[in-house]
Amino acid sequence: MTVNTKSKRLLAVALFSGLGSFTAAGAEEIDNLAPEATATEATLSFWDIPPLESAFVDTTPADKKDALIVGELGVDGGDKDRILKLAREISDGQHGNYDSLLIAHKGKLLFESYYLRGRINLPHPQASATKAYTGLALGRAIQLGYLTIADLDKPLVSFFDDLDSTRFVEGAENITLHKALTMRSGIRISEEQREAFENNPSQLEGQGQVQAHLEHSEPVTKESQSFLYQGIDPNLVMQVIEAVVPGTAEDFIKSELLDKLGITNYRWPTAVTGLPQAGSRTSMTSRDMVKWGVLAMNKGKWNGEQLVPEEFIARAINRIVRDSDDDNFADDGSVSNIGYGYFWWQADMQAGDKSYFSTSAQGGSGQTIILIDELDLIVVTTVHRLENSVLRMTAERILPTFVQ
């Protein structure tokens, strides 16, 4: 994706107060209207960020020279009036505590809005959307030749040199990267053992985490290698990244993925292992979430460069796990046929008499990057204390406005 420069920008900006009143700026040249966190606010905990006095809604997003092409809602796609109606409802709190909603269509960012704790320059907690970023970092290692696609089916323990295999539980050798990327490592740690880890975190430092999990898990069996949404599996993937790339996983992710995407304003904290957090706890700006979506939508390409192999992206965003007893697989009205790939979720979205395949990076309470490939549509949301399903809202309120 290349930068789209303009010497002049005509905006239609809608501002909603918390009480739902509406004012609209005229078509004029306006710069830097999106709400920004102050230097003081940027140092605060997310939960201490003061809510916006008015929601900010922009149907012609600003060109921020951040490698995102911008366009105009209603001109370059979408039904402007219907999206603005939805934005008013979000501002009124009818869909939960949204902090942002952004929409990109056919390679252009057409809609950008911020509410409550949302700021254009403030990284927002991502929760489990972090897992998708971790998976794409592994894909980057494959693209650069530190791993191969075939390695995804090798025993995970083969990537480590400092483990004592004589102490592993039965079946540990059956765990592969493919299984870990689909939440099917089969590792099962009791609550009692988890508490023991918490009381003695030093045993989890470095590859000690892998040793501890493979030593204290229940036996890994065909039955246990069923889908279980847990933090252990992305941790295993991060451990492999650390083991195979030159230098550290942290430096690799920064230089080979984040820097490539132009993502500089983020938080990716360190876990007790000394490695980057793998399953949660990152923070990204909403615009940078759009970039992750563009990378996946473009089959691993960014600005013409193949950052992640197309085959890896295909596995990540398509259904591999098709059914499960896990509560996350429950249908929700117009959203059905839930699946799971490499740390990405899939679902069919019903709009009218037609069903559309969607794939999404998801974090608890509504941090989502939703891709609908058939419509070349990307929807990004950040939320705190979610009340209604983001996927269902997207299916019922956003997707239909882009259907021709």
The 10s digit of each residue's pLDDT in 3-27 is: 333 333 333 444 554 434 333 332 3
309 compared with 6, residue with greater pLDDT: 309
Q: Which two tokens stand for residue 389?
A: 């399903």
Q: In sequence order, which residues have a C-beta less than 8 Å from that of residue 19 and are 6 or more positions away?
A: none
CB 115 within 8 A of CB 57: no
> Using 50, 70 and 90 to split pLDDT, how confident is the model at 139?
very high
pLDDT at 55 over 50: yes
Fold of 10-129+280-402: Beta-lactamase (3.40.710)
Per-residue model confidence (pLDDT) at position 9 = 37
Q: Does the pLDDT of residue 387 top 90, yes or no?
A: no
d(C-alpha 126, C-alpha 217), whole Å = 28
How confident is the model at residue 246, as a pLDDT?
Answer: 98
Residues 6+ apart with CB under 8 A from 61: 70, 102, 109, 110, 111, 112
What tokens appear for 131 in the block? 């897992």
Please tell me the distance from the alpha carbon of residue 353 to that of residue 371, in angstroms, as a whole number.
20
pLDDT of residue 265: 97
Those residues whose C-beta lies under 8 Å from the C-beta of residue 162, and which sit 6 or more positions away, are: 206, 207, 211
Average pLDDT, the chain: 92
Question: Cβ(398)–Cβ(83) under 8 Å?
Answer: yes
Domain boundaries, the chain: 10-129+280-402, 147-244
What pLDDT does residue 166 have? Answer: 97
pLDDT at 388: 86
Q: Hey, what are 148's tokens? A: 């191969």
Q: Please tell me the distance from the alpha carbon of residue 289 to that of residue 369, in angstroms, as a whole number.
A: 7
- What pLDDT digit, counting tens, does each position of 83-120 carry? 999 999 999 999 999 999 999 999 999 999 999 999 99
Q: What percent of the chain has pLDDT over 70?
A: 92
The pLDDT of residue 383 is 98
Q: What is the pLDDT of residue 137?
A: 99
> 127 pLDDT exceeds 50?
yes
Q: What is the pLDDT of residue 16?
A: 52
What are the tens digits of pLDDT across the range 157-206? 999 999 999 999 999 999 999 999 999 999 999 999 999 999 999 999 99
Average pLDDT over residues 355-381: 98
CB atoms within 10 A of CB 303: 14
Question: Which amino acid, 350?
Answer: Q
Whether residue 318 is predicted with pLDDT greater than 90 in this model: the reply is yes
Instruction: Write down the pLDDT at residue 239.
Output: 98
Q: Which uninterrupted H or E stretch holds 369? A: strand 367-372
Q: Which of 5-19, 158-172, 299-313, 363-377 has the lowest mean pLDDT?
A: 5-19
Query: Residue 211: which residues within 8 A CB-CB, separation 6 or more?
Result: 162, 163, 164, 167
What are the pLDDT digits (tens) for 229-257?
999 999 999 999 999 999 999 999 999 99
Burial-class residue 157 by CB neighbours within 10 Å (0-12, 13-18, 19+). Answer: middle
219: tokens are 């036996």
Of 153, 134, 154, nearest to 252 by C-alpha is: 134
Instruction: For residue 36, give the DSSP letter.
Output: -
Task: Kindly report the number of other CB atoms within 10 A of residue 382's CB atom.
Answer: 33
Instruction: Indicate if the pLDDT at residue 133 is higher than 60.
Output: yes
